[in-house]
Amino acid sequence: MTEPSVEELRMLLAVQARGSLTAAAEELGVTQQAVSQRMRALERRLGLALFARAARGTTLTAHGRLVADWAQGVVDQLDALSAAAASLRADRQAQLRVAASMTIAEHLMPVWMVSTGAHAIDARVQLTAVNSAGAIDAVRIGQVELGFIETPDVPRRLASRTIAVDEVVIVVAPGHPWAKRRRLPLATLARTPLVMREAGSGTRATVEAALARADLSLAPPAADVSTTAAIRALVLSGGGAAAISALAARDDLATGRLRRVHVDAPPFERPLTAIWDGERVLAEPARDFLAVAQRMGLGSGTGTAP
């Protein structure tokens, strides 16, 4: 059975919003017949009666409303991808250039971009994904107006504001022995090789700093990997425990693919900080964007607002 396409999901949502196939067709800029055809095909594919068709219009059945709500999640994700990808594209003269560390670019920028789009901040944002050091440099040389870093050391000469506090969490596959433990001693963690991102990424530094505060040092990592997908694959295939950003783990924890291990120690926290050139006045688009970032922080999920 083939899966529903995003166009079909968008059509479904349009029908729900407008209350008839004809109105939905108008909204989407196609003919009524096209909508009728496609929605019928969607029902056939899913094997569900989604629509209650009547002379006054078409409403959704209970099943239809369920599917529509799930569809909303899909299109929201896709819209976030589109918005974020657009901000990565450099072929357009942007009114605001931003350099963000990987974690922030990956997990927060999509949300921020959708938000700026929705609230019509009059700025086209151009995003560059770098590491924290790169973001600092980019701000220093004036290549970007705004930077976002995930290391605690706030460089001199640059103005900064902490946006949120990220947490590095320990995750394992559901079958892993640690998955059942309520609290893992810090010493046990210290002597266990972990899967984590490459050295530069700040994740390791955060864990090492936390261990150092308890006079412990970190075992050599089990693996240095450079992509979230690789970490996921490793951990899921029984590759042991991984230390990753709570932001990166969030979806996998929500869907049960990964389990969080609570370590018997203070949280491994690190600030997410916005930086800019303190000797210049921040332009309008930058100020607006900073406000959005500050307001939304990590979103509702994990972590702690400042």
20 makes contact with its own copies (CB under 8 A):
no
Candidates 20, 58, 101, 115: give the one binding its own copies (CB under 8 A). Answer: 115
Q: Which of residues 25-54 bind its own copies (CB under 8 A)?
A: 46-48
Q: How far apart are CA 126 and CA 87, in angstroms?
A: 5
How many chain residues touch DNA (CB under 7 A)? 25
Q: How far apart are CA 168 and CA 231, in angstroms?
A: 14
> What amino acid occupies position 104?
I
For 288, other C-beta atoms within 10 Å of its C-beta total 17
Candidates 129, 211, 235, 243: give the one binding its own copies (CB under 8 A). Answer: 129
Q: Which residues lie below 8 Å from residue 81, measured CB to CB, with a gap of 6+?
A: 110
End-to-end CA separation in angstroms for the chain: 47
Candidates 54, 177, 255, 281: give the one binding its own copies (CB under 8 A). Answer: 255
**E-only strand ranges, 26-108:** 51-54, 57-60, 96-101
Strand partners, 160: 275
Candidates 44, 47, 55, 281: give the one binding DNA (CB under 7 A). Answer: 55
Interface with its own copies by CB under 8 A: which range of 30-38, 79-87, 237-245, 275-283?
79-87
Q: Which long-range contacts (CB under 8 A, 24 or more apart) does 137-142 make?
A: 138/99, 139/99, 139/275, 139/276, 139/277, 140/277, 142/277
Cβ proximity to DNA, 26 vs 106, nearer residue:
26
Interface with its own copies by CB under 8 A: which range of 30-38, 99-107, 187-195, 204-212?
99-107
**Residue ranges binding DNA (CB under 7 A):** 5, 7, 20-23, 29-34, 36-41, 51, 53-58
**Residue ranges binding its own copies (CB under 8 A):** 3-6, 9, 13, 16-17, 46-48, 60, 62-63, 65-74, 76-78, 80-82, 84-85, 88-89, 91, 102, 105-106, 110-111, 114-115, 118-119, 129, 174, 226-229, 233, 250-251, 253-257, 260, 292, 295-296, 299-302
